Structure 1
Amino acid sequence: MRKKIYLASFSLLILILIGGVFYSLPYYVSKPGMAKELKPIIKVENGYPEKGNFMLTTVRMGRANIYSYLGAKLSKYDEIYPLDEILYKKETEKEYTVRQLYLMSGSKMNAIDVAYHKAGKPVHYKYKGIYVLNVLPGMPAYGKLQAGDRVFKVDGRTFPSSEKFISYVAKKHAGDQITLTYSRNKQTKNVKLNVAKFKEDPSKVGVGISLVDDKEIIVSPHVVVKTDEIGGPSAGFMFSLEIYNQLTKEDLTKGYQIAGTGTISDDGTIGPIGGIEQKIIAANKAGAQIFFAPNEKGSKHSNYRDALKAGNEINTKMKIIPVDSFNEAVRYLEKLPKNSKKMVK
């Protein structure tokens, strides 16, 4: 009898422990990720070689279960975020992932734009339609369109921008029907939707999608940036350095391992990101010798100051450099003496 009770208790305990892995808490946990060399990711056609490396840095972000939550509580450099700090209102996890992938796509485009303009190369854009970020529950598009769809025609017509698309739909009346032509998983489909009033603002009508421009950047020489499933905009600045370095004869790495982080706008401004302390740890583990951190114009609570603090706490030997713009980073690298030491891996 005792043996049966023991086995039943043990089995229940095992089920509880396994259940703890799959039961999601209303939090996200982020941890130090990795520092990844950009040469294998970015290829400019007939690009110049480099002796050192530029590296992007990442954090690992995921929905918390009981164990990851407790682990984060005990770890100094793990961060816990309430669900509403990560997801937009009514945004699903799938839509969050699509949004992050779009932000990565936008950061790549800005990085290419900045690097090619700096190198004196022509840049052109081709508008492809609109990209669906999320679909509002209770609106006509809900259950018919989904995040990641690319809409390129309305009633058989194409538009030169998302603003023109919105303007066209806004002129309709509640109950009017429109036909959207869109692509999903490389297949083209049509869907008919009745325009409806927005509950939050009945004076406006639409089909209930959050959207952005879907456009392609066209440059010569050709460049490929392979990011797979890496999301978010924080690698944009480092992308721009790697692309520019392959476009120009002078090697800006000069034999150094150079990591960093920051968003990049199309005018070359470097913006702040989350998880800077975790990225310092990732870069340090990868043997980076220099780390670029967004300076935020010298703000007291800038990424740079947080990076300095984390660097001091882990006794890193990396030089942590504050930067506000792409041009500022390039000037720093141009003045940098060549690395006389053997490259650290």
Structure 2
Amino acid sequence: MGRKLYIRFTVFAAVLLLASSFYYLPYYVSKPGMAQELEPIIEVENGFDEEGSFMLTTVRMGRANIYSYIIAQFSKYQEIYTLEEIRGEGETDEQYTARQMHLMAGSKTSAIEVAYKKAGIPVNYEYNGVYVFSVLPDMPAEEKLKPGDLIVEVDGQELTTSEEFIEYVGGKQAGTEIELSFKRNGKSKSAELILKPLPGEPERAGVGIFPVDDKEIIVKPPVNLKTDEIGGPSAGFMFSLEIYNQLIEEDLTKGYEIAGTGTISSDGTIGRIGGIEQKIVAADKAGADIFFAPNEDGAEGSNYEAAVRTAEDIETNMKVVPVNNFNDAVSYLESLKEEAS
């Protein structure tokens, strides 16, 4: 009898343990991810080879269950975030993922533009429509549109850029009905919306979306970036370095393992990202020699300051280098001595 009771208790405890691991708390947990070599996922047609490597760094982010939440509470380089800190108001997991994928697409476009222009190669764009980046609550679009929708026509007129969309809709009065033609997951849809005054701007009318351009960059030689499983904009800067290095004959890596992070704007500005401490840990584990960190023009509390503190704390030999823009990084690499073989 005692043995049967013990077996039942063990089975019950195992089932309870398994079930509780699938019960998610209203939090996200982030932890150090990986440092991934970029050459295998970025290919410029007939591009030049490199002796060292550029690496993007990642943070692993996921919904917290009770076990991951407790572990994160006692882990120095794991962070806990509320749902509101990660997702937009009313944003679902699916919409959050779609937003991260669009941010990644934008970062790739900016990285290509920066690299090709630096190499003296012209770039062109093909505009596909207006991407719905987010939807404002209590506005006409809330019940009709979702983040990730692609608006292709307004009142039967083809509008290819967000500027055209804003100009057309902004020229109408509140109470006016407009018809939007859009695509969702490749399927064509339409919706009628009655314009309302915009929050904080009662003199202007709108539908309540944050529109951005959905565009494809056209360059020669062509470049292919295989980033299906990577989201967000924080790899943009390192993308631009890898692309540029394949476009020019000089190898900027000079045999070094070079990691880093930061958004990239089309003018070459390197922007702040989240999780810099965890990315320093990931780069150190991968054996990086150099880590580029956004300097934010020397602002107090910059990514660079946090990166230096973490590097000192984990006692890494990796050199942390501050960068404000793409040219800063290129100049630093051009001045490097070749890695001793």
State the TM-score, normalized to the length of structure 1. Answer: 0.90
Number of the residue aligned with 1:193: 192
For the residues of structure 2 that align with 1:160 and 1:52, how far apart are their CA atoms? 41
Quickly say closer, same or farther: Cα 1:304–1:200, change in 2 above 3 A: closer
Partner of 1:87: 87
Tell me which moved more, 232-241 or 178-187.
178-187
Which residue does 2:122 correspond to in 1? 122
Q: RMSD of aligned C-alpha atoms?
A: 2.3
Q: Does 1:305 align with 2:305?
A: yes
Percent pairwise identity: 60
Give the secondary-structure state (helix, strand or coil) at the position aligned to 1:64. strand
Q: Secondary structure at the match of 1:25?
A: strand
Separation in 1, partners of 2:36, 2:302: 24
| Residue of structure 2 equivalent to 1:103 | 103
Q: Deviations over 1:34-61 (max 9, x none)?
A: 0011111111111111111000000001
Q: Secondary structure at the match of 2:157?
A: coil
> What is the rounded CA distance, in whole Å, between the counterparts of 2:300 and 2:208 in structure 1?
41
Question: Does the CA contact (< 8 Å) of 2:161 and 2:212 recur in 1?
Answer: no
1:211 Cα deviation from its structure 2 partner: 2.4
Paired amino acid for 2:101: L
Given the superposition, is the C-alpha separation of residues 134 and 324 from structure 1 closer, same or farther in structure 2, using an over 3 Å criterion?
closer
Which position in structure 1 is the counterpart of 2:158?
158
Cα offsets for 1:230-288 (capped at 9, x unmatched): 11111111111111111111010111111111111111111111111111111111111
SS of equivalent residue, structure 2 residue 24: coil
1:232 lines up with 2:223 in the alignment: no
Provide the residue aligned with 1:168 in structure 2: 168
Gaps of 5+ in 1: none
In structure 2, distance between residues paired with 1:302 and 1:135: 30
User: Which moved further from structure 2: 152-161 or 217-226?
Assistant: 152-161
Structure 2 match to 1:324: 324
1:221 match: 221
Residue-by-residue CA offset, 1:285-322 (whole Å, 9 max, x unaligned): 11111111111222342212211221122221111111
**Deviation digits for residues 118-141 of structure 1 (CA, Å, limit 9, x no counterpart):** 111111222211112234566554
Q: 2:37 is matched with which residue?
A: 37
The whole-number CA distance in structure 2 between the counterparts of 1:281 and 1:57 is 9
Q: Give me the whole-angstrom Cα distance separating, in 2, the residues matched to 1:30 and 1:306.
A: 16
Q: Once the 2 structures are TM-superposed, how far is the Cα of residue 162 of structure 1 from its aligned partner?
A: 1.2
Contact 2:135 2:145 survives alignment (8 Å)? yes
Shift of 1:5: 5.5
How far did 1:142 drift?
A: 4.5
Paired position in structure 1 for 2:146: 146
* Contact kept in structure 2, 1:110 and 1:265, CA below 8 Å: yes
* 1:221-260 correspondence runs (5 A): 221-260=221-260
CA contact (8 A) 1:132 1:146 kept: yes
Alignment of 1:256-267 (within 5 A): 256-267=256-267
Structure 1's 173 and 270: CA in aligned 2 closer, same or farther, altered over 3 A?
A: closer
Instruction: Give per-residue Cα distances to partners, 1:303-344, cap 9 Å, x unaligned.
Output: 122112211222211111111111111111111111113xxx
Aligned length, in residue pairs: 340
What one-letter code is carried by the residue in structure 2 that aligns with 1:282? A
Alpha-carbon distance in structure 2 between the residues aligned to 1:173 and 1:17: 58
- Classify 1:118/1:146 alpha carbon distance in 2 versus 1 (closer, same or farther; 3 Å): same
In structure 2, the residue matched to 1:17 is 17
CA distance in 1, matches of 2:72, 2:262: 24
**Alignment-mate amino acid for residue 88 of structure 2:** Y
Q: Is the 8 A contact 1:195 1:205 kept in 2?
A: no
Name the CA distance, whole Å, in 1 between partners of 2:280 and 2:21.
29
TM-score by structure 2 length?
0.91
Q: For 1:77, what is the secondary structure of its paired residue?
A: coil
What residue identity is the alignment partner of 1:85? Answer: E
User: Could you tell me how far apart the structure 2 residues matched to 1:78 and 1:179 are?
Assistant: 47
Amino acid across the alignment from 2:339: N
Alignment CA distance shift 1:279-1:213 (3 Å) = same
Q: Tell me which residue corresponds to 2:335.
A: 335
Report Cα offsets for 1:143-193 as digits up to 9, x if no partner.
Answer: 543322211112221124213213333455666543332233334x13132
Q: Which amino acid aligns with 2:293?
A: A
Q: Distance in 1 between matches of 2:174 and 2:267?
A: 40
Give the drift of 1:74. 1.6
C-alpha spacing 1:300/1:204, structure 2 compared with 1 (3 Å)? closer
Which deviates more, 128-137 or 262-271?
128-137
- Which residue pairs with 1:277 in the alignment? 277
